[in-house]
């Protein structure tokens, strides 16, 4: 049986979490740190980011926290953070309340254009909150997305104009097919050379396989866009 220890996470508004856990991973100024039972006592500032924990049932859970303090003692581990939210708690209502609170804060008053940017783009932002948590993370972890966007911009940049929307959609679809075919050829060459790679899977929609929680995200995509995704899996 793995050793457990007590974790308490507090915000000014509530006791966010209090229970026995097996592992805690949290970001401090020097990077991510893993906390297990019988860890040496430390006190460190916590950075804004994802808090990960392996609970007493062996299940991994994640939460979003903002800046605070981490204190590890022989008795328990305590996190004091400005805010802490489970992914399912982050919805349109919570986002609007957080924006209004930020607008009234000292930083919000100092940088009103930041508030204005969110308000102007609010209708475009809130559909993001309708996606399940695992899929949200794939969307806002943008390295793979930016890589694809860069290659699509190269294709459209050389064209002066498009006669209609269908023309640009067709061009982008063909570009995506070419990008995937190019990557598939590279994976085949790597396999022939005996190089280890996590991207040997066959078929389409596999470039995200190195993305955290990709199987869960792909499962959620297959539910939301059943007619568009499942035939390629």
Is the same domain home to 63 and 102?
no
What is the rounded CA–CA span in Å between residue 72 and residue 78? 6
Question: Which residue range is the domain that position 119 belongs to?
Answer: 91-130
**Distance between CA atoms of 64 and 73, rounded to whole angstroms?**
23
164 and 191 in a single domain? The answer is yes
62 lies in the same domain as 77: yes
**Distance of alpha carbon 208 from alpha carbon 142, whole angstroms:** 11
Which of 29-38, 179-188, 210-219 has maximum average pLDDT? Answer: 29-38
Is the per-residue pLDDT at 202 higher than 70?
no
203 in the same domain as 164: yes
Measured over the CA atoms of residue 9, residue 213, residue 147 and residue 117, the dihedral's sign is negative
Residue matched to tokens 């050793």: 3
Does 23 lie in the same domain as 77? yes
Percentage of the chain beyond pLDDT 70 is: 89
Same domain? 60 vs 126: no
**Same domain? 189 vs 162:** yes
8 Å CB contact between 84 and 94: no
Same domain, 148 and 223: yes
List the structure tokens of 228: 């568009």
The number of beta carbons lying within 10 Å of the beta carbon of residue 221 is: 22
User: Does pTM surpass 0.85?
Assistant: no
Q: Are residues 107 and 145 both part of a single domain?
A: no
Picking from 223, 229, 224, the residue whose alpha carbon sits closest to that of residue 127 is 224
Q: How many domains does the chain fold into?
A: 3
Query: How far apart are the C-alpha atoms of 108 and 115, rounded to whole Å?
Result: 7
User: Are 47 and 116 members of one domain?
Assistant: no
- The model's pLDDT over 33-92, given as tens digits with 9 standing for 90+, comes to 999 999 999 999 998 888 999 999 999 998 989 889 999 998 899 999 988 989 888 888
- How far apart CA 119 and CA 126 sit, in angstroms, is 11
């Amino acid at each position: 049986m793995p050793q457990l220890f007590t974790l308490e996470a507090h915000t000014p508004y509530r006791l966010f979490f209090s229970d026995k856990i097996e592992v805690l991973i949290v970001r401090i100024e020097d990077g991510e740190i893993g906390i297990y039972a019988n860890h040496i006592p430390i006190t460190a500032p916590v950075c804004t980011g994802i808090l990960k924990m392996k609970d007493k049932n062996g299940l991994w859970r994640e939460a979003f926290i903002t800046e605070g303090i981490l204190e590890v003692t022989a008795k328990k581990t305590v996190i004091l953070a400005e805010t802490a939210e489970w992914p399912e708690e982050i919805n349109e209502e919570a986002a609007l309340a957080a924006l209004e609170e930020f607008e009234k804060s000292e930083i919000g008053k100092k940088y009103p254009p930041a508030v204005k940017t969110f308000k102007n783009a609010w209708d475009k932002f809130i559909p993001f909150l309708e996606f399940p948590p695992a899929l949200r993370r794939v969307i806002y972890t943008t390295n793979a997305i930016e890589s694809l966007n860069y290659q699509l911009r190269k294709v459209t940049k050389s064209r002066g104009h498009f006669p209609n929307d269908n023309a640009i959609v067709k061009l982008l679809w063909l570009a995506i097919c070419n990008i995937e075919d190019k990557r598939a050829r590279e994976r085949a060459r790597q396999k022939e050379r005996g190089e280890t790679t996590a991207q040997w899977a066959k078929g389409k929609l596999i470039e995200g396989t190195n993305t955290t929680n990709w199987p869960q995200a792909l499962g959620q995509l297959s539910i939301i866009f059943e007619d568009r995704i499942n035939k390629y899996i």
